[in-house]
């Protein structure tokens, strides 16, 4: 075989797996057809965070007046932001390549597809490998409605030539709420359309309520319980029709309506790698597919689509195969953040999930943070603890008593977590006994 391990995909999972496997002495090849660093570095977390930061500076300039600063806002330079973003992304691309090269992996700037279960076509070159890793990530999807091709998806948002003055964002998951905050913060009339009563389906109900309130306060125009039905282009604008017969006239329609695994054209069907209903590659706890020497990592498995999870999976697989250290990655109690404005951080079960398992105590606080007592901005901070009445609640074994005896850092918002003394409510099967 040409390689002990060949990795298809140069994103977070693939690069980490290839680099660590090579550092353990394996002969490693890695192919990437688009850009090194994958979605996160190029058209995801990293550039999106830069755009969130940019949008927050406008609000900060306004808030500064309450602290004695006279800052004049002269409008935002979209081109300047995009150029700075592109420069930083290019630097990160080079870092990914350098790390692989220094580890001794062979780099292929090409598409890789299966010829058979040990053989790949890599940019026209025939390559064999004892083990193969599929880490091809995912791609954004549009709704199947008339005129959908007139809208953009998240990939396109990072290459817009100019800032839209009016934008309609369809969908209220991570991507939808984050870009709503970005565009509204940069001065666009921003509409957020979603079919649920609240944004961020699957998150804790109190968080969802708090975010909806905060987004409305930031000027985002919310359209809950609404489904888009068509997009039409007329007179240089887009007309987005909604299920209540409302028609929004905007300069940009943005579909933030989900993602799907990148498996098209890989040739999985000819080698017997099983996939699920949505095209996700099915794996066991060792990341092995239905073909034992072929593995899959990260978003292409569509389990917990977070960059740190993908990176951890890549490292664990490399250690297991070549580092004499077999291990897996737990997907329980993984912390996650949503870079909405204001941002959300959460870990563990939601209140609804906890209630299904038995009685749980709820501790909840909402307050105006120090900064906005002076700035005057109507923004609240919300903190919530969900405590299992019967046993420990999180991986570290922390109990409510551990929080209570921790000395907080003053003055910070974080200290609120260790001063939550008053129980808000009890939920779950035995809550009536409380």
Q: Digits of tens for pLDDT over the chain (434 positions)?
A: 999 999 999 999 999 999 999 999 999 999 999 999 999 999 999 999 999 999 999 999 999 999 999 999 888 999 999 999 999 999 999 999 999 999 999 999 999 999 999 999 999 999 999 999 999 999 999 999 999 999 999 999 999 999 999 999 999 999 999 999 999 999 999 999 999 999 999 999 999 999 999 999 999 999 999 999 999 999 999 999 999 999 999 999 999 999 999 999 999 999 999 999 999 999 999 999 999 999 999 999 999 999 999 999 999 999 999 999 999 999 888 889 999 999 999 999 999 999 999 889 999 999 999 999 999 999 999 999 998 877 544 566 777 888 777 766 666 677 777 767 678 889 886 554 44
Considering the domain boundaries, does residue 276 fall inside one?
yes
Same domain, residue pair 400 and 293: no
Same domain, residue pair 315 and 370: no
How far is the CA of 401 from the CAs of 53, 187, 427, in angstroms?
Answer: 36, 45, 19
Same domain, residue pair 121 and 168: no
CB-side neighbour CA atoms (13 Å) of 196: 14
Q: What is the CATH number of the domain that holds 388?
A: 3.30.390.30
pLDDT in tens, 149-207: 999 999 999 999 999 999 999 999 999 999 999 999 999 999 999 999 999 999 999 99
Same domain, residue pair 24 and 128: yes
Same domain, residue pair 78 and 21: yes
Which segments of 233-300 does DSSP mark as H helices, in order?
268-271
Give the length of the chain: 434
Considering the domain boundaries, does residue 203 fall inside one?
yes
Separation CA 373–CA 367 (nearest Å)? 10
Residue 275 DSSP SS3? strand
Considering the domain boundaries, does residue 388 fall inside one?
yes
- Give the global pTM: 0.90
Separation CA 254–CA 152 (nearest Å)? 5
Name the DSSP class of 288: B
Burial 83-105 (b: 16+ CB within 10 A, else e): eebeeebeebbeebbebbeebeb
Which segments of 196-250 does DSSP mark as H helices, in order?
205-217
The residue behind tokens 């909840």 is 364
- The pLDDT of residue 423 is 83
pLDDT in tens, 94-110: 999 999 999 999 999 99
Considering the domain boundaries, does residue 390 fall inside one?
yes
Same domain, residue pair 52 and 90: yes
**Residues identified as active-site:** 410
How many domains does the chain fold into? 3
DSSP H or E run through 295: strand 294-296
Separation CA 208–CA 198 (nearest Å)? 6
Same domain, residue pair 212 and 352: no
Considering the domain boundaries, does residue 67 fall inside one?
yes
Considering the domain boundaries, does residue 128 fall inside one?
yes
Same domain, residue pair 29 and 92: yes
Same domain, residue pair 126 and 185: no
Q: What is the CATH number of the domain that holds 177?
A: 3.50.50.60
Same domain, residue pair 124 and 266: yes
- The pLDDT of residue 407 is 63
Same domain, residue pair 308 and 420: no
With CA atoms as reference, report the closest residue to 422 among 387, 396, 392: 387
Considering the domain boundaries, does residue 19 fall inside one?
yes
Same domain, residue pair 134 and 265: yes
Q: Which domain holds residue 382?
A: 348-433
Considering the domain boundaries, does residue 201 fall inside one?
yes
Separation CA 304–CA 298 (nearest Å)? 8
Separation CA 25–CA 28 (nearest Å)? 9
């Amino acid at each position: 075989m040409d390689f002990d391990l060949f990795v298809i995909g140069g994103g977070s999972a693939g690069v980490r797996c290839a680099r660590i496997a090579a550092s353990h002495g394996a002969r490693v090849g890695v192919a990437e057809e688009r850009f090194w660093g994958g979605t996160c570095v190029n058209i995801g977390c990293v550039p999106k965070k830069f755009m969130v930061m940019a949008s927050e500076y406008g609000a900060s300039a306004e808030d500064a007046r309450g602290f004695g600063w006279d800052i004049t806002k002269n409008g935002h330079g979209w081109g300047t932001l995009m150029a700075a973003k592109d420069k930083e992304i290019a630097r990160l691309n080079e870092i990914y390549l350098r790390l692989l090269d220094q580890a001794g992996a062979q780099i292929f700037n090409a598409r890789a597809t299966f010829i058979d279960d040990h053989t790949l076509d890599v940019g026209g070159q025939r390559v064999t490998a004892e083990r193969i890793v599929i880490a091809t990530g995912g791609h954004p999807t549009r709704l199947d409605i008339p005129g959908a091709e007139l809208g953009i998806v998240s990939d396109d948002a990072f290459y817009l030539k100019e800032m839209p003055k009016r934008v309609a964002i369809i969908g209220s998951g991570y991507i939808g709420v984050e870009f709503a905050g970005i565009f509204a913060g940069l001065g666009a009339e921003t509409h957020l359309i979603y079919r649920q009563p609240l944004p961020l389906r699957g998150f804790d109900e109190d968080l969802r309520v708090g975010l909806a309130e905060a987004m409305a306060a930031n000027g985002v125009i919310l359209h809950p319980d609404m489904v888009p039905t068509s997009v039409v282009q007329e007179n240089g604008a887009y007309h987005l029709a909604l299920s209540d017969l409302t028609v929004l006239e905007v300069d940009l329609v943005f579909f933030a309506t989900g993602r799907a695994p990148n498996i098209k054209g890989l040739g999985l069907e000819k080698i017997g790698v099983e996939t699920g209903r949505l095209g996700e590659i099915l794996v066991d706890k060792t990341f092995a597919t239905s073909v034992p020497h072929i593995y899959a990592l990260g978003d292409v498995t569509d389990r917990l689509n977070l960059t740190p999870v993908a990176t951890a999976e890549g490292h664990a697989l490399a250690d297991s195969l070549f580092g004499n250290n077999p291990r897996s990655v737990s997907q329980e109690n993984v912390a996650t953040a949503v870079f909405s404005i204001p941002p959300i951080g959460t870990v563990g079960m939601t209140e609804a999930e906890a209630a299904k398992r038995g009685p749980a105590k709820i501790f909840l606080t909402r307050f105006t943070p120090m900064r906005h007592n002076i700035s005057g901005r109507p923004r609240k901070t919300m903190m919530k603890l969900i405590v299992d009445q019967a046993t420990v609640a999180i991986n570290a074994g922390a109990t409510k008593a551990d929080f209570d005896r921790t000395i907080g850092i003053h003055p910070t918002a974080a200290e609120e977590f260790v001063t939550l003394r008053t129980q808000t409510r009890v939920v779950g099967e035995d809550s009536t006994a409380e």
